[in-house]
Structure 1
Amino acid sequence: MPPPAPRPALECRSLSKAYATNRVVLANLDFKLEAGEFIAIMGDSGVGKSTLLNLIAGLDRADSGEVLIDGTPVSTLNDDTATRLRREKLGFVFQAFHVLPHLTLAQNVALPLLLNGIAPQRALDMLAAVGLEGRGNDMPRQLSGGELQRVAIARALVHRPTLILADEPTGNLDPDTAHEVLALLREETKANGAATMMVTHSQAAAAVADRVLILSEGKLHAMRETSPHASRQNHE
């Protein structure tokens, strides 16, 4: 008997959301994201990209439908269990970095480990992986914007989550730094066996993804199936 197929890192089933103004944001959206995939979500401002991320993260509730993370339906969980699932299974990368200014770089990266009851030693290894070896005792004020985003990536990946949610992760970076940070996020995502969903307005950022999807009229539409990165991987 063949082994069972691996569960998707993320699955959205008939996900619907509308605001009080009756403006439909999501309309029976069905979607799967497999482990190891790096996808970009694009679309006009106000179409619901951030709403989709918030629903997946459990920060907002859908009107109907279901979100499953690593096979677990999030809406069936009580608050404590849902919080634990987010801590263990999710990693977040934001446009504004959200690095805590009063903590060292090592302490910032170690936060997900401490919340999950894991020894913090891995934080230094993760800083080294993102090119910040030996900087663990530095304070955020000593870093450039690109370096701060590297810290945010290290923090998102340090506890080896199933799913990374990235909301405009290069919005505050110059083009050259943005390219370096995106290449790093992709590389570390693949190395850690995670899946990444990135919301972006940038065509250059989206070009790094395996798939680009457009959110329009409440649905996700394929813009491009595979990137050159994915094509090379398929032939390796």
Structure 2
Amino acid sequence: MLELVDLSKSYGGRTVLARLSHRFAPGEFVAVMGESGVGKSTLLNLIAGLDTPDSGQVVVDGVPMSSLDDDAATQLRRSRMGFIFQAFHVLPHLTLEQNVALPLLLNGGADTSRARAMLDAVGLKGRGADFPRQLSGGELQRVAIARALVHRPALLLADEPTGNLDPETADGILHLLRAEIRQSGAGAIMVTHSIAAAAMADRTLVLTRSGLQLT
């Protein structure tokens, strides 16, 4: 489903990733850990096609991302991927339900009942008409998680998905992520510093300067 082939990336002359290769099996939930600054978020951005490698390939379902033009790459992201990023990227002028339903609408869907169900699932039942300005940071993170899962993506990319949540809420969100992944047969890559979060995954990889290593 996903393969990294000799992936390299540098910024300002500093090498972040160097000839990284790894194959992720379809439907597996993988946690990626590692020291700050080692390139974990960069790795997610490269997989998503939001950034381009200096060399090497990201191959999704047998298709190199570099072979796709902008429109095709955008369509792939919309239809096949879900994103949970640290910055949330919740749109302030949309209600919570509209924010969560956005992937459905972009993929041609019209039924927003799934969006309401996902808000319920992340503990925000009855808040669909609220706006992001009315929420705490932890609640915004839950909206971002609901939006990432709403269209049942084939590949979920999560960057510290529980970083702003208290332990009890984080545990519930991690169980929701795993349940949604299992139900849809999706693959997931979760960057985390949390040992408790990593324990939810099928396996944990540690990203170092020398590559990805199985713990």
TM-score (norm 2): 0.89
31-40 vs 42-51, greater mean Cα deviation:
31-40
Of 84, 100, 105 in structure 1, the residue corresponding to residue 75 of structure 2 is 84
Give the structure 2 partner of residue 66 of structure 1.
57
Tell me the matched-pair count. 214
Give the structure 2 partner of residue 11 of structure 1.
3
For residues 20 and 147 of structure 1, the distance between their equivalents in structure 2, rounded to whole angstroms, comes to: 35
Give the structure 2 partner of residue 162 of structure 1.
154
> Would the alpha carbon gap of residues 181 and 145 (structure 1) be closer, same or farther in structure 2, given more than 3 Å must change?
farther
What letter matches 1:55 in structure 2? L
For residues 170 and 97 of structure 2, the distance between their equivalents in structure 1, rounded to whole angstroms, comes to: 23
1:113-145 per-position Cα deviation (integer Å, ceiling 9, x unaligned): 111222242322333344444432233344454
Give the structure 1 partner of residue 28 of structure 2.
37
What letter matches 1:88 in structure 2? S
Task: Decide whether the 8 Å contact of 1:16 with 1:63 is kept in 2.
Answer: yes
Q: Which runs of 5+ in 1 are unaligned?
A: 1-7, 224-236
Give the structure 2 partner of residue 210 of structure 1.
202
Q: Which runs of 5+ in 2 are unaligned?
A: none
Task: Decide whether the 8 Å contact of 1:24 with 1:218 is kept in 2.
Answer: no
1:59-112 per-position Cα deviation (integer Å, ceiling 9, x unaligned): 211122111122221100111111111111111112333322332221011111
Residue 149, structure 1, aligned to residue 141, structure 2? yes
Q: Secondary structure at the match of 1:80?
A: helix
For residues 135 and 10 of structure 2, the distance between their equivalents in structure 1, rounded to whole angstroms, comes to: 41
For residues 96 and 13 of structure 1, the distance between their equivalents in structure 2, rounded to whole angstroms, comes to: 28
Give the structure 2 partner of residue 201 of structure 1.
193
- Within 5 Å, which residues of 2 pair with 1:73-112? 73-112=64-103
Give the structure 2 partner of residue 49 of structure 1.
40
> Would the alpha carbon gap of residues 218 and 54 (structure 1) be closer, same or farther in structure 2, given more than 3 Å must change?
farther
Residue 179, structure 1, aligned to residue 171, structure 2? yes
Task: Decide whether the 8 Å contact of 1:146 with 1:178 is kept in 2.
Answer: no
> Would the alpha carbon gap of residues 218 and 62 (structure 1) be closer, same or farther in structure 2, given more than 3 Å must change?
farther
Q: Secondary structure at the match of 1:13?
A: strand
Q: Secondary structure at the match of 2:164?
A: coil
Fraction of identical pairs, as percent: 68
> Would the alpha carbon gap of residues 171 and 129 (structure 1) be closer, same or farther in structure 2, given more than 3 Å must change?
closer
Task: Decide whether the 8 Å contact of 1:12 with 1:68 is kept in 2.
Answer: yes
Task: Decide whether the 8 Å contact of 2:97 with 2:116 is kept in 1.
Answer: yes
TM-score (norm 1): 0.82
For residues 212 and 128 of structure 2, the distance between their equivalents in structure 1, rounded to whole angstroms, comes to: 40
Kindly report structure 1 stretches of 4+ aligned residues shifted beyond 6 Å.
none
Residue 28, structure 1, aligned to residue 19, structure 2? yes
Task: Decide whether the 8 Å contact of 2:178 with 2:200 is kept in 1.
Answer: yes
For residues 19 and 151 of structure 1, the distance between their equivalents in structure 2, rounded to whole angstroms, comes to: 31
176-185 vs 143-152, greater mean Cα deviation:
143-152
For residues 98 and 82 of structure 1, the distance between their equivalents in structure 2, rounded to whole angstroms, comes to: 19
